[in-house]
Structure 1
Amino acid sequence: MTAADTAPRQTESPTGHSSGARAWIVTGLLVVFMMVNFADKSVFGLAADEIRADMRLSATEFGLANSAFFLLFSVAAAVGLLSDRVRPKWLLLTMAVLWSVAQTPAALGGGLAVLIGSRVLLGAAEGPAFPVAQQAALSWFPNHRRNLPGALVTLGVTLGVITAAPGLTWVIHHHGWRAALWVVAAAGALWALLWAVLGADGTYRTDAPEAPSVDSAAKPAYRRILGSRTWIGTTAAYFTSYWCVALMLVWMPSYLHNGLGHSAAASGKLVALPWAMGALVLLGQAALTGRLMRRGVSSRWARGRVGAGLLLLGAAACLALPLVDGAGGKTALLVVGLGLGGAFPTVAVTTVAELAPPARRGGALGTMNATVTTAGLIAPAVVGQLVDSRGVAGYQTAVLLSGVLLLVGALAAFTLIDPARDAARPDA
């Protein structure tokens, strides 16, 4: 039994509810928070053909417009550092309000400049969302119980796309893509209202001790954490996973429609499949990792090597795409490859949360997220250039590139991740 198992915890939240019940209420709200976040992101991908036709954009120009969304995602690092000092509740509320505000200029009208400007603002507001939401959720649980809430918050990403794709596709086709922006803006405003009333910070944020091997140093230097093999390996692997996420968000609907010949309506439904697969994988990974850790298996295996296995399987499916003929077989491999490849976030977040003590957790998670999401800045533009230069074959080349990157990520996770080793090393 570790100190994390016996750490004293606050039994009553400031609102009077038991901490256990309040923990799951907050976690549920954060799941919805991530659902809204990724519904926002998915609009451009779902409306790719309509936006390109409306604004007469080439694939390269459309890819660059989507890359602009990630231009200021690096603010995640600054906000992550800020969340070590400011209550995450208020940071999350501010972000949600800004999301709704950022949607309105493009929803009202305007050309490409307005569209790009609003997406840059939206990206700046959404960049810190995932690490701060994870920090807020994990602050309600000790280390050995974090796999499930971490997976559920990550699952919000998947549920956001699965639930939004059919509805937003209908709105886009019947009322235009700008109407879809009003829908997601309203969803963000509604969430902000609920969070203002029900949101709260957890009892494990900074005041409760956890496993001595991980959290005994109250405030180690950030360079110790960010320079560790675990942080570097986790971030490298997560980068390759996020590349797949960016590909699914921006280009998968177009690939299904223009590259594989599915109808626009069918593409709007099929695009949810890799996200659904990712959801099942996330829950399975959380259950397996939790079970292994309860049996005393180290995080090196329970998190690092389980995560490496997911990336390796995703890479194999992506690289097998040219070996299969027919839209059905290629669609199946695409679903498996991107679904598995994009399922690393929970491994990444819980690994860094184990490595970094509470007083440094927000900065460590935020810096990782800022680094990782540069994949979102690069991938849409690269794929756009591939499509313009190679036609529909460019989509398949993009999937093969993703497979190669996932192989690199699997190797990084397998060889570098070991939180117990790096947490125990002397301060540099």
Structure 2
Amino acid sequence: MEQAIGRRKKTQVRYGMLALVFVNVVINYLDRSNISVAGAALSKDMNLSSEELGFIFSAFGWTYALLQIPGGLIADRFGPRILYAFCLITWSIATLCQGFVKGFASLFSLRLATGAFEAPSYPINNRIVTSWFPEHERASSIALYVSGQFIGLAFLTPVLVNVQHLAGWQGLFIGTGIVGLLWGVIWYVFYRDPLDHPTVSEEELTYIEEGGGLFRGRKPGTNQAAVWKWVNVKQVFSTRTLWGVYIGQFAVNATLWFFLTWFPTYLVKYRGLDFIKSGYLASVPFLAACAGLLLSGFVSDRLVKQGKSVTMARKAPIIIGLLLSISIIGANYTDDTALIIFFMALAFFGSGMALISWVFVSILSPKNLIGLTGGVFNFMGNLASIVVPIVIGFLAKDGDFKPALVFIGTLGLIGACSYIFLVGKIERAITQDAPEGIVVGE
């Protein structure tokens, strides 16, 4: 009787689940970006050229991007609780092992492994938000969990710099790996899907479902034939609107991956800043990106609640953000450290605004292919994690970083044009294989 009364009370369990995802994202990006903090020391200790360092920076992206489509299919097939725990533990082991590498080949291989095991993470994040949140809270919830990558890096980059100063780059990798291992166990203990959570109320479930939350689908691992078809892959590659957001996501990630890889090295090697000081200055653009992301997410949801068209409410912040990201080129025209950080922060603020683009996966993809569409979306966007670090390495090989910043800014302009000219009316694609309301792999 008491349990039944408890389930009728108003609960806010979905925010607890979102907090768990937030921490996942913080750890996810610590293990992506620790290489950027270690980059200058690694380059010196292993005698790496800028081109070789570019390949090391890009190694994560090779497997991460190429496995996005399989990762999306896996996210549709298996539940988030077990799959995310497996991913957290395995990529953390790969991170820890990077503290024992002796040369280019072993480090490159372990970065490939880290990318491979992180591949399903964002498709899983998107499925969790799609299950736990109504559509009118979707952009703000995405903004909150994605902000973990910026909040975590903003406050923890100085910590990582000091850890490396005290324990070397080897200690940096070992420490971040141990943190991920411990969190993987915590995730498994506390996360549950909506229908499996012991304390969620019927009132909250009704609120989520009536708002468009999708959690009453088939159980993981049952009747998956509809997902594992080439016709489904073809569908998510054949829509002009989806291609518009794919290109836009590549542009957004281009700026992101500059900051996740080359930015600390740019400050130390190409701008001559002290290593410890660079760690504190590097946190400023991450805070700016977080502010842009949260502003964009909450403004976008507010516009939807005010009755503005979904097309305008979702697209406008992204277009404005991509146009702002072009300001990174301004750093080429000053030697003043404060102005350099200002232009970097403004560009990353814009990139942060554009990162609510994940909301398009929730509202454009066929309801039975949310994981697959998320995988393709993340694959296309994370091609930037392969291309951008390598291209920057070649552009900066003669000691001049200006062409690299022009390259990043130009991609921001291309992304804005993609949203303006390719992304049309926002509406969900429907498949014949899945009736309205049935979601495979929830």
1:90 pairs with 2:82: yes
Matching residue within 282, 293, 301 for 2:312: 301
Give 1:123's aligned residue.
115
CA shift digits 1:236-289 (9 cap, x unpaired): 111011011111011101111222232111111111111110111111111110
CA shift digits 1:5-52 (9 cap, x unpaired): xxxxxxx99x97978432111110110000001111111111111101
> Contact (CA 8 Å) 1:134, 1:153: kept in 2 or not?
no
1:400 CA drift (Å): 1.2
Give 2:217's aligned residue.
none
Matching residue within 9, 17, 38 for 1:26: 17
TM-score (norm 2): 0.85
Give 1:363's aligned residue.
372
Give the stretch that moved more between structures: 360-369 or 416-425.
Answer: 416-425
Q: State the one-letter code of the partner of 2:55.
A: L
Q: Counterparts in 2 of 1:313-352, with a 5 A limit?
A: 313-315=324-326, 317-346=327-356, 348-352=357-361
1:376 CA drift (Å): 0.5
Give 2:198's aligned residue.
none
> Contact (CA 8 Å) 2:300, 2:314: kept in 1 or not?
yes
Structure 2 vs 1, CA of residues 67 and 426 (structure 1 numbering), >3 Å: closer, same or farther?
same
Q: State the alpha-carbon separation in 2 of the partners of residues 308 and 274 from structure 1.
A: 19
Give the stretch that moved more between structures: 218-227 or 272-281.
Answer: 218-227
Give the stretch that moved more between structures: 74-83 or 169-178.
Answer: 74-83
Matched residue SS, 2:307: coil
Give the stretch that moved more between structures: 321-330 or 34-43.
Answer: 321-330
Give 2:410's aligned residue.
404
Q: State the alpha-carbon separation in 1 of the partners of residues 270 and 102 from structure 2.
A: 30
Q: State the alpha-carbon separation in 2 of the partners of residues 355 and 281 from structure 1.
A: 23
Give 1:132's aligned residue.
124
Q: State the alpha-carbon separation in 2 of the partners of residues 86 and 18 from structure 1.
A: 30
Q: State the alpha-carbon separation in 2 of the partners of residues 415 and 198 from structure 1.
A: 44
Q: State the alpha-carbon separation in 1 of the partners of residues 100 and 282 from structure 2.
A: 27
1:224 CA drift (Å): 3.5
Matching residue within 79, 94, 98 for 1:102: 94
Q: State the one-letter code of the partner of 1:322.
A: N
Structure 2 vs 1, CA of residues 313 and 89 (structure 1 numbering), >3 Å: closer, same or farther?
same
CA shift digits 1:376-408 (9 cap, x unpaired): 11111111112213x0x2x22211111111001
1:167 CA drift (Å): 1.1
> Contact (CA 8 Å) 2:33, 2:260: kept in 1 or not?
yes
Q: State the alpha-carbon separation in 1 of the partners of residues 429 and 181 from structure 2.
A: 40
> Contact (CA 8 Å) 2:97, 2:174: kept in 1 or not?
no
1:296 CA drift (Å): 1.6
Structure 2 vs 1, CA of residues 362 and 174 (structure 1 numbering), >3 Å: closer, same or farther?
same
Give 1:4's aligned residue.
none
User: How many percent of aligned residue pairs carry the same amino acid?
Assistant: 26
Structure 2 vs 1, CA of residues 301 and 138 (structure 1 numbering), >3 Å: closer, same or farther?
same
Q: State the alpha-carbon separation in 2 of the partners of residues 156 and 118 from structure 1.
A: 24
TM-score (norm 1): 0.88
Q: Counterparts in 2 of 1:33-72, with a 5 A limit?
A: 33-72=24-63
Give 1:238's aligned residue.
249
> Contact (CA 8 Å) 1:45, 1:251: kept in 2 or not?
yes
Q: Counterparts in 2 of 1:202-281, with a 5 A limit?
A: 202=194, 208=209, 221-281=232-292
1:322 CA drift (Å): 3.4
1:351 CA drift (Å): 1.3
1:192 pairs with 2:191: no
1:375 pairs with 2:367: no
What is the number of equivalent residue pairs in this alignment? Answer: 404
Give 2:436's aligned residue.
none
Q: State the alpha-carbon separation in 2 of the partners of residues 104 and 246 from structure 1.
A: 22
Q: State the alpha-carbon separation in 1 of the partners of residues 149 and 11 from structure 2.
A: 24
Q: State the one-letter code of the partner of 1:53.
A: K
Q: CA RMSD in A?
A: 2.7
> Contact (CA 8 Å) 1:37, 1:160: kept in 2 or not?
no
> Contact (CA 8 Å) 1:229, 1:422: kept in 2 or not?
no
> Contact (CA 8 Å) 2:57, 2:261: kept in 1 or not?
yes
Structure 2, unmatched stretches of 5+, are: 196-204, 214-225, 434-442
> Contact (CA 8 Å) 2:55, 2:389: kept in 1 or not?
yes
CA shift digits 1:323-371 (9 cap, x unpaired): 445232222112211332244222x211121112442101100111012
Matched residue SS, 1:359: coil
Give 1:9's aligned residue.
none
Q: State the alpha-carbon separation in 2 of the partners of residues 79 and 384 from structure 1.
A: 29
Give 2:219's aligned residue.
none
1:185 CA drift (Å): 0.8
